[in-house]
Protein backbone atom coordinates (compact mmCIF):
# COMPACT_ATOMS: atom_id res chain seq x y z
CA UNK A 1 0.00 0.00 0.00
CA UNK A 2 1.42 3.40 -0.95
CA UNK A 3 2.68 5.87 1.65
CA UNK A 4 -0.10 8.07 2.95
CA UNK A 5 0.54 11.81 2.95
CA UNK A 6 -1.55 14.94 2.70
CA UNK A 7 -5.03 14.61 1.28
CA UNK A 8 -4.67 10.85 0.71
CA UNK A 9 -3.95 10.38 4.41
CA UNK A 10 -7.01 12.42 5.40
CA UNK A 11 -9.23 10.54 2.93
CA UNK A 12 -7.88 7.23 4.23
CA UNK A 13 -8.64 8.14 7.86
CA UNK A 14 -12.11 9.40 6.98
CA UNK A 15 -12.94 6.17 5.15
CA UNK A 16 -11.71 3.97 7.99
CA UNK A 17 -13.50 6.24 10.45
CA UNK A 18 -16.72 5.83 8.47
CA UNK A 19 -16.33 2.05 8.55
CA UNK A 20 -15.78 1.95 12.31
CA UNK A 21 -18.68 4.38 12.78
CA UNK A 22 -21.04 1.70 11.54
CA UNK A 23 -21.01 0.16 15.03
CA UNK A 24 -21.96 3.27 17.04
CA UNK A 25 -24.62 4.12 14.46
CA UNK A 26 -25.96 0.58 14.74
CA UNK A 27 -25.96 0.73 18.55
CA UNK A 28 -26.82 4.35 19.31
CA UNK A 29 -29.15 5.48 16.55
CA UNK A 30 -32.14 3.46 17.71
CA UNK A 31 -31.73 4.25 21.44
CA UNK A 32 -34.30 7.11 21.46
CA UNK A 33 -36.87 4.65 20.10
CA UNK A 34 -36.55 2.19 23.02
CA UNK A 35 -39.82 3.25 24.71
CA UNK A 36 -41.59 3.26 21.32
CA UNK A 37 -40.28 -0.21 20.44
CA UNK A 38 -41.52 -1.55 23.77
CA UNK A 39 -45.03 -0.41 22.79
CA UNK A 40 -44.81 -1.60 19.18
CA UNK A 41 -43.70 -5.12 20.10
CA UNK A 42 -45.88 -5.13 23.24
CA UNK A 43 -43.02 -6.04 25.55
CA UNK A 44 -40.98 -4.65 28.46
CA UNK A 45 -37.71 -2.76 28.84
CA UNK A 46 -35.60 -5.87 29.43
CA UNK A 47 -36.81 -7.45 26.17
CA UNK A 48 -35.94 -4.32 24.19
CA UNK A 49 -32.54 -4.21 25.92
CA UNK A 50 -32.16 -7.84 24.81
CA UNK A 51 -32.11 -6.57 21.21
CA UNK A 52 -29.05 -4.52 22.20
CA UNK A 53 -27.53 -7.57 23.86
CA UNK A 54 -28.10 -9.60 20.68
CA UNK A 55 -26.39 -6.90 18.62
CA UNK A 56 -23.41 -6.85 21.00
CA UNK A 57 -23.11 -10.64 20.88
CA UNK A 58 -23.15 -10.42 17.09
CA UNK A 59 -20.41 -7.82 17.24
CA UNK A 60 -18.37 -10.11 19.50
CA UNK A 61 -18.64 -13.26 17.40
CA UNK A 62 -18.34 -11.32 14.16
CA UNK A 63 -15.04 -9.76 15.15
CA UNK A 64 -13.44 -13.14 15.73
CA UNK A 65 -14.64 -14.36 12.34
CA UNK A 66 -13.80 -11.16 10.44
CA UNK A 67 -10.42 -10.74 12.13
CA UNK A 68 -9.34 -14.30 11.39
CA UNK A 69 -10.64 -14.22 7.80
CA UNK A 70 -8.88 -10.92 7.13
CA UNK A 71 -5.53 -12.44 8.16
CA UNK A 72 -6.14 -15.29 5.70
CA UNK A 73 -7.87 -13.62 2.72
CA UNK A 74 -6.77 -10.01 3.06
CA UNK A 75 -8.70 -7.03 4.42
CA UNK A 76 -10.83 -5.97 1.46
CA UNK A 77 -12.84 -9.06 0.48
CA UNK A 78 -14.22 -9.95 3.97
CA UNK A 79 -15.11 -6.29 4.48
CA UNK A 80 -17.11 -6.05 1.24
CA UNK A 81 -19.05 -9.25 2.01
CA UNK A 82 -19.82 -8.09 5.55
CA UNK A 83 -21.15 -4.72 4.36
CA UNK A 84 -23.50 -6.49 1.94
CA UNK A 85 -24.86 -8.65 4.78
CA UNK A 86 -25.21 -5.57 6.99
CA UNK A 87 -27.33 -3.69 4.45
CA UNK A 88 -29.58 -6.73 3.96
CA UNK A 89 -30.05 -7.29 7.73
CA UNK A 90 -30.83 -3.60 8.31
CA UNK A 91 -33.51 -3.67 5.64
CA UNK A 92 -35.00 -6.85 7.12
CA UNK A 93 -35.34 -5.17 10.56
CA UNK A 94 -37.98 -2.89 9.03
CA UNK A 95 -40.23 -5.89 8.40
CA UNK A 96 -39.66 -7.71 11.71
CA UNK A 97 -43.08 -9.13 12.72
CA UNK A 98 -42.25 -9.56 16.42
CA UNK A 99 -39.59 -9.00 19.06
CA UNK A 100 -38.05 -12.45 18.52
CA UNK A 101 -37.33 -11.91 14.84
CA UNK A 102 -36.17 -8.37 15.61
CA UNK A 103 -33.66 -9.66 18.19
CA UNK A 104 -32.36 -12.25 15.70
CA UNK A 105 -31.90 -9.64 12.99
CA UNK A 106 -30.11 -7.36 15.43
CA UNK A 107 -27.64 -10.18 16.08
CA UNK A 108 -27.01 -10.53 12.34
CA UNK A 109 -26.70 -6.76 11.98
CA UNK A 110 -24.08 -6.63 14.73
CA UNK A 111 -22.25 -9.66 13.30
CA UNK A 112 -21.87 -7.93 9.93
CA UNK A 113 -21.04 -4.48 11.34
CA UNK A 114 -18.13 -5.90 13.35
CA UNK A 115 -15.96 -6.22 10.23
CA UNK A 116 -15.83 -2.45 9.84
CA UNK A 117 -14.20 -2.08 13.26
CA UNK A 118 -11.84 -5.03 13.41
CA UNK A 119 -10.59 -4.81 9.82
CA UNK A 120 -10.13 -1.03 9.95
CA UNK A 121 -7.95 -1.43 13.04
CA UNK A 122 -5.95 -4.17 11.33
CA UNK A 123 -5.44 -1.91 8.30
CA UNK A 124 -4.05 0.81 10.57
CA UNK A 125 -1.57 -1.72 12.00
CA UNK A 126 -0.68 -2.86 8.46
CA UNK A 127 0.40 0.61 7.38
CA UNK A 128 1.97 2.04 10.58
CA UNK A 129 3.89 1.29 13.78
CA UNK A 130 5.33 3.08 16.81
CA UNK A 131 4.44 6.73 17.32
CA UNK A 132 2.79 6.86 13.90
CA UNK A 133 0.48 4.00 14.95
CA UNK A 134 -0.56 6.00 18.03
CA UNK A 135 -1.22 9.17 16.02
CA UNK A 136 -3.05 7.36 13.24
CA UNK A 137 -5.22 5.37 15.62
CA UNK A 138 -5.94 8.46 17.72
CA UNK A 139 -7.15 10.27 14.57
CA UNK A 140 -9.29 7.25 13.72
CA UNK A 141 -10.79 7.30 17.21
CA UNK A 142 -11.53 11.03 17.01
CA UNK A 143 -13.46 10.49 13.77
CA UNK A 144 -15.18 7.44 15.24
CA UNK A 145 -16.10 9.24 18.47
CA UNK A 146 -17.89 11.98 16.58
CA UNK A 147 -20.61 9.44 15.81
CA UNK A 148 -22.03 9.18 19.36
CA UNK A 149 -22.59 12.94 19.09
CA UNK A 150 -24.69 12.43 15.97
CA UNK A 151 -26.31 8.99 16.10
CA UNK A 152 -28.95 9.52 18.84
CA UNK A 153 -29.76 12.97 17.45
CA UNK A 154 -30.16 11.52 13.97
CA UNK A 155 -32.35 8.80 15.44
CA UNK A 156 -34.56 11.22 17.37
CA UNK A 157 -34.69 13.46 14.28
CA UNK A 158 -35.94 10.56 12.17
CA UNK A 159 -38.61 9.90 14.82
CA UNK A 160 -39.94 13.43 14.25
CA UNK A 161 -40.77 12.60 10.64
CA UNK A 162 -41.15 8.80 10.60
CA UNK A 163 -41.66 5.88 12.92
CA UNK A 164 -38.92 3.54 14.20
CA UNK A 165 -38.71 1.85 10.80
CA UNK A 166 -37.20 5.03 9.37
CA UNK A 167 -34.16 4.51 11.57
CA UNK A 168 -33.43 1.11 10.05
CA UNK A 169 -34.04 2.39 6.54
CA UNK A 170 -31.38 5.02 7.23
CA UNK A 171 -28.99 2.30 8.45
CA UNK A 172 -29.70 0.34 5.26
CA UNK A 173 -28.73 3.35 3.15
CA UNK A 174 -25.57 3.87 5.23
CA UNK A 175 -24.58 0.23 4.67
CA UNK A 176 -25.09 0.49 0.91
CA UNK A 177 -23.06 3.72 0.67
CA UNK A 178 -20.14 2.22 2.63
CA UNK A 179 -20.32 -0.94 0.51
CA UNK A 180 -19.94 1.09 -2.69
CA UNK A 181 -17.13 3.28 -1.32
CA UNK A 182 -15.21 0.29 0.03
CA UNK A 183 -15.65 -1.66 -3.18
CA UNK A 184 -14.30 1.15 -5.35
CA UNK A 185 -11.97 3.20 -3.13
CA UNK A 186 -10.29 1.02 -0.48
CA UNK A 187 -7.04 -0.65 -1.60
CA UNK A 188 -5.78 -3.94 -0.13
CA UNK A 189 -3.27 -3.38 2.71
CA UNK A 190 -2.15 -6.95 3.46
CA UNK A 191 0.20 -8.46 0.85
CA UNK A 192 -0.15 -12.15 -0.03
CA UNK A 193 3.20 -13.04 1.54
CA UNK A 194 2.08 -11.69 4.94
CA UNK A 195 -1.18 -13.68 5.15
CA UNK A 196 -1.54 -16.64 7.52
CA UNK A 197 -2.44 -20.25 6.52
CA UNK A 198 -6.10 -20.94 5.82
CA UNK A 199 -6.99 -23.60 8.37
CA UNK A 200 -8.91 -23.73 11.63
CA UNK A 201 -5.99 -25.02 13.68
CA UNK A 202 -3.78 -22.12 12.62
CA UNK A 203 -6.56 -19.66 13.48
CA UNK A 204 -6.98 -20.97 17.02
CA UNK A 205 -3.21 -21.20 17.35
CA UNK A 206 -2.97 -17.49 16.57
CA UNK A 207 -5.55 -16.65 19.24
CA UNK A 208 -3.85 -18.88 21.83
CA UNK A 209 -0.40 -17.40 21.14
CA UNK A 210 -1.71 -13.86 21.50
CA UNK A 211 -3.50 -14.60 24.80
CA UNK A 212 -0.34 -16.13 26.31
CA UNK A 213 1.09 -12.62 26.35
CA UNK A 214 0.05 -11.45 29.85
CA UNK A 215 0.52 -7.79 29.06
CA UNK A 216 -1.64 -8.04 25.93
CA UNK A 217 -4.32 -9.84 27.96
CA UNK A 218 -4.09 -7.19 30.68
CA UNK A 219 -4.60 -4.38 28.20
CA UNK A 220 -7.46 -6.29 26.55
CA UNK A 221 -9.24 -6.94 29.86
CA UNK A 222 -8.76 -3.36 31.10
CA UNK A 223 -10.23 -2.00 27.87
CA UNK A 224 -12.89 -4.72 27.69
CA UNK A 225 -14.34 -4.26 31.17
CA UNK A 226 -14.26 -0.48 31.02
CA UNK A 227 -15.93 -0.28 27.62
CA UNK A 228 -18.28 -3.08 28.68
CA UNK A 229 -19.48 -0.71 31.39
CA UNK A 230 -20.39 1.82 28.71
CA UNK A 231 -23.11 -0.49 27.45
CA UNK A 232 -24.75 -0.46 30.88
CA UNK A 233 -24.96 3.32 30.42
CA UNK A 234 -26.08 2.98 26.78
CA UNK A 235 -28.92 0.58 27.56
CA UNK A 236 -29.93 2.19 30.85
CA UNK A 237 -30.06 5.91 30.14
CA UNK A 238 -32.83 5.83 27.49
CA UNK A 239 -35.24 4.63 30.18
CA UNK A 240 -33.63 6.40 33.15
CA UNK A 241 -33.45 9.83 31.51
CA UNK A 242 -36.87 9.62 29.85
CA UNK A 243 -38.91 7.63 32.38
CA UNK A 244 -37.36 8.66 35.72
CA UNK A 245 -36.28 12.22 34.92
CA UNK A 246 -38.94 12.90 32.27
CA UNK A 247 -36.75 14.27 29.47
CA UNK A 248 -37.85 14.17 25.82
CA UNK A 249 -36.13 12.01 23.17
CA UNK A 250 -34.48 15.17 21.83
CA UNK A 251 -33.09 16.18 25.25
CA UNK A 252 -31.93 12.62 25.79
CA UNK A 253 -30.06 12.79 22.47
CA UNK A 254 -28.43 16.06 23.54
CA UNK A 255 -27.28 14.61 26.86
CA UNK A 256 -26.07 11.47 25.14
CA UNK A 257 -24.24 13.49 22.50
CA UNK A 258 -22.45 15.57 25.13
CA UNK A 259 -20.61 12.43 26.19
CA UNK A 260 -19.38 12.07 22.63
CA UNK A 261 -17.43 15.29 23.26
CA UNK A 262 -15.79 13.55 26.20
CA UNK A 263 -14.79 10.63 23.99
CA UNK A 264 -13.25 13.00 21.47
CA UNK A 265 -11.34 14.90 24.17
CA UNK A 266 -9.93 11.65 25.55
CA UNK A 267 -8.86 10.24 22.19
CA UNK A 268 -7.43 13.54 20.98
CA UNK A 269 -5.42 14.03 24.18
CA UNK A 270 -3.61 10.71 23.75
CA UNK A 271 -2.70 11.42 20.12
CA UNK A 272 -1.81 15.06 20.71
CA UNK A 273 0.29 14.67 23.86
CA UNK A 274 1.77 11.17 23.42
CA UNK A 275 5.19 12.79 23.06
CA UNK A 276 4.79 14.40 26.50
CA UNK A 277 3.04 11.64 28.45
CA UNK A 278 3.44 7.95 27.69
CA UNK A 279 0.48 5.83 26.64
CA UNK A 280 0.88 3.84 29.88
CA UNK A 281 0.60 6.98 31.98
CA UNK A 282 -2.52 8.04 30.08
CA UNK A 283 -4.03 4.57 30.52
CA UNK A 284 -3.34 4.25 34.23
CA UNK A 285 -4.62 7.75 35.03
CA UNK A 286 -7.81 7.15 33.05
CA UNK A 287 -8.49 3.82 34.80
CA UNK A 288 -8.24 5.45 38.23
CA UNK A 289 -10.38 8.36 37.04
CA UNK A 290 -13.07 6.07 35.64
CA UNK A 291 -13.25 4.09 38.89
CA UNK A 292 -13.68 7.31 40.87
CA UNK A 293 -16.40 8.53 38.51
CA UNK A 294 -18.16 5.16 38.79
CA UNK A 295 -18.10 5.36 42.60
CA UNK A 296 -19.59 8.88 42.54
CA UNK A 297 -22.31 7.79 40.10
CA UNK A 298 -23.26 4.83 42.30
CA UNK A 299 -23.56 7.09 45.34
CA UNK A 300 -25.73 9.57 43.42
CA UNK A 301 -28.21 6.99 42.11
CA UNK A 302 -28.49 5.32 45.53
CA UNK A 303 -29.32 8.72 47.04
CA UNK A 304 -31.66 9.47 44.09
CA UNK A 305 -29.83 12.68 43.24
CA UNK A 306 -30.90 15.18 40.56
CA UNK A 307 -30.31 14.70 36.85
CA UNK A 308 -27.20 16.89 36.69
CA UNK A 309 -25.55 14.82 39.44
CA UNK A 310 -26.01 11.73 37.26
CA UNK A 311 -24.88 13.41 34.03
CA UNK A 312 -21.58 14.80 35.40
CA UNK A 313 -19.91 11.56 36.61
CA UNK A 314 -21.14 9.77 33.47
CA UNK A 315 -19.41 12.44 31.37
CA UNK A 316 -16.07 11.88 33.14
CA UNK A 317 -16.54 8.10 32.96
CA UNK A 318 -17.13 8.25 29.20
CA UNK A 319 -14.21 10.67 28.72
CA UNK A 320 -11.93 8.06 30.28
CA UNK A 321 -13.11 5.59 27.62
CA UNK A 322 -11.62 7.77 24.89
CA UNK A 323 -8.26 7.66 26.66
CA UNK A 324 -8.30 3.97 27.56
CA UNK A 325 -9.59 2.87 24.14
CA UNK A 326 -6.79 4.65 22.29
CA UNK A 327 -3.90 3.97 24.70
CA UNK A 328 -4.70 0.31 25.39
CA UNK A 329 -5.14 -0.50 21.70
CA UNK A 330 -1.79 1.05 20.80
CA UNK A 331 0.07 -0.70 23.64
CA UNK A 332 -1.55 -4.06 22.96
CA UNK A 333 -1.12 -4.02 19.17
CA UNK A 334 2.49 -2.83 19.16
CA UNK A 335 3.83 -6.38 19.46
CA UNK A 336 1.25 -8.07 17.22
CA UNK A 337 2.38 -7.31 13.67
CA UNK A 338 2.14 -10.93 12.43
CA UNK A 339 -1.51 -11.45 13.35
CA UNK A 340 -2.94 -7.95 13.50
CA UNK A 341 -6.40 -9.05 12.39
CA UNK A 342 -6.70 -11.71 15.10
CA UNK A 343 -5.24 -9.40 17.76
CA UNK A 344 -7.63 -6.63 16.74
CA UNK A 345 -10.51 -9.13 16.92
CA UNK A 346 -9.60 -10.17 20.46
CA UNK A 347 -9.34 -6.54 21.55
CA UNK A 348 -12.74 -5.86 20.05
CA UNK A 349 -14.33 -9.07 21.33
CA UNK A 350 -14.21 -8.48 25.08
CA UNK A 351 -15.97 -5.09 25.20
CA UNK A 352 -18.96 -6.43 23.30
CA UNK A 353 -19.15 -9.74 25.20
CA UNK A 354 -19.04 -7.86 28.51
CA UNK A 355 -21.40 -5.24 27.14
CA UNK A 356 -23.83 -7.98 26.14
CA UNK A 357 -23.75 -9.23 29.73
CA UNK A 358 -24.09 -5.80 31.34
CA UNK A 359 -26.80 -4.33 29.10
CA UNK A 360 -29.72 -6.45 30.41
CA UNK A 361 -28.60 -6.04 34.05
CA UNK A 362 -29.59 -2.38 34.18
CA UNK A 363 -33.26 -3.22 33.67
CA UNK A 364 -33.36 -6.17 36.05
CA UNK A 365 -35.02 -4.14 38.84
CA UNK A 366 -37.48 -2.38 36.56
CA UNK A 367 -37.60 0.95 34.71
CA UNK A 368 -37.91 3.18 37.78
CA UNK A 369 -34.49 2.77 39.39
CA UNK A 370 -30.97 3.65 38.24
CA UNK A 371 -29.13 1.68 40.95
CA UNK A 372 -28.40 -1.40 38.77
CA UNK A 373 -26.80 0.85 36.14
CA UNK A 374 -24.63 2.63 38.72
CA UNK A 375 -23.56 -0.63 40.35
CA UNK A 376 -22.72 -2.26 37.00
CA UNK A 377 -20.64 0.69 35.81
CA UNK A 378 -18.69 0.94 39.07
CA UNK A 379 -18.03 -2.82 39.13
CA UNK A 380 -16.77 -2.81 35.55
CA UNK A 381 -14.41 0.10 36.26
CA UNK A 382 -13.02 -1.57 39.37
CA UNK A 383 -12.40 -4.90 37.60
CA UNK A 384 -10.71 -3.09 34.70
CA UNK A 385 -8.32 -1.36 37.09
CA UNK A 386 -7.52 -4.60 38.94
CA UNK A 387 -6.87 -6.45 35.64
CA UNK A 388 -4.40 -3.76 34.58
CA UNK A 389 -2.58 -3.71 37.92
CA UNK A 390 -2.19 -7.50 38.15
CA UNK A 391 -1.52 -8.44 34.53
CA UNK A 392 0.40 -5.42 33.23
CA UNK A 393 1.98 -3.61 36.18
CA UNK A 394 2.83 -6.80 38.08
CA UNK A 395 4.35 -8.41 34.98
CA UNK A 396 6.48 -5.32 34.35
CA UNK A 397 7.76 -5.32 37.93
CA UNK A 398 8.79 -8.98 37.65
CA UNK A 399 10.64 -8.25 34.41
CA UNK A 400 12.79 -5.56 36.06
Per-residue pLDDT tens for 64-78? 888 778 878 888 899
Confidence of residue 1 (pLDDT cuts 50, 70, 90): very low
- Predicted pLDDT of residue 214: 85
Taking a C-beta distance cutoff of 8 angstroms, is the pair 314, 292 a contact? no
Domains contained in the chain, CATH given? 6-190+199-399 (1.20.1250.20)
Taking a C-beta distance cutoff of 8 angstroms, is the pair 228, 358 a contact? yes
Question: What would the mean pLDDT of 236-261 be, rounded to a whole number?
Answer: 82
Which tens digit of pLDDT belongs to each residue from 111-153? 999 898 888 878 887 777 666 777 777 777 766 666 666 676 7
- Predicted pLDDT of residue 200: 59
Which tens digit of pLDDT belongs to each residue from 154-186? 777 787 788 889 999 999 999 999 999 888 888
Confidence of residue 338 (pLDDT cuts 50, 70, 90): low
- Predicted pLDDT of residue 336: 62
44: CB partners within 8 A, 6+ apart? 38, 363, 367
How far apart CA 346 and CA 387 sit, in angstroms, is 16
- Judged on CB neighbours under 10 Å (0-12, 13-18, 19+), 261 is middle
- Judged on CB neighbours under 10 Å (0-12, 13-18, 19+), 197 is exposed
Position with higher pLDDT, 7 vs 100: 100
Taking a C-beta distance cutoff of 8 angstroms, is the pair 70, 81 a contact? no
How far apart CA 34 and CA 40 sit, in angstroms, is 10
Position with higher pLDDT, 247 vs 339: 247
Question: What would the mean pLDDT of 248-265 be, rounded to a whole number?
Answer: 81
State percent of the chain over pLDDT 70: 87
With 60 as the cut, is the pLDDT of residue 4 above it?
A: no
- Predicted pLDDT of residue 145: 64
Average pLDDT, the chain: 82
pTM: 0.69
Taking a C-beta distance cutoff of 8 angstroms, is the pair 1, 187 a contact? yes
Which tens digit of pLDDT belongs to each residue from 263-301? 888 877 887 777 777 888 889 999 999 999 999 999 999
How far apart CA 28 and CA 31 sit, in angstroms, is 5
How far apart CA 391 and CA 389 sit, in angstroms, is 6
- Predicted pLDDT of residue 400: 55
With 80 as the cut, is the pLDDT of residue 386 above it?
A: yes
Which tens digit of pLDDT belongs to each residue from 212-226? 888 888 998 998 899
DSSP string, 111-147: HHHHHHHHHHHHHHHHH--HHHHHHHHHHHHHHHHTH
How far apart CA 313 and CA 299 sit, in angstroms, is 10
Which tens digit of pLDDT belongs to each residue from 34-69? 888 888 888 877 788 789 889 988 988 888 888 778
- Predicted pLDDT of residue 2: 46
Amino acid sequence: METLVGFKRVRFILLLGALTSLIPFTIDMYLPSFPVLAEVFETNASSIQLSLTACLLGLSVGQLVAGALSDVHGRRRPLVISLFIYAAASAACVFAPNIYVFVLLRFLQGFAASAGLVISRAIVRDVSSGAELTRLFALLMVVNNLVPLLAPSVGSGVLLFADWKGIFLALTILGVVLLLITGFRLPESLPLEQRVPSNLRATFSNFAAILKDKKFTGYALAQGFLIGGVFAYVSGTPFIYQNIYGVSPQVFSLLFGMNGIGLIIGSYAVGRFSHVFSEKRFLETALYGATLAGAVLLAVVILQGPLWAVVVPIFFFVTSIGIVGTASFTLAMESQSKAAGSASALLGLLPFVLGALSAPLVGIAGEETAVPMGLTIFSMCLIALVAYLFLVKKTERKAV
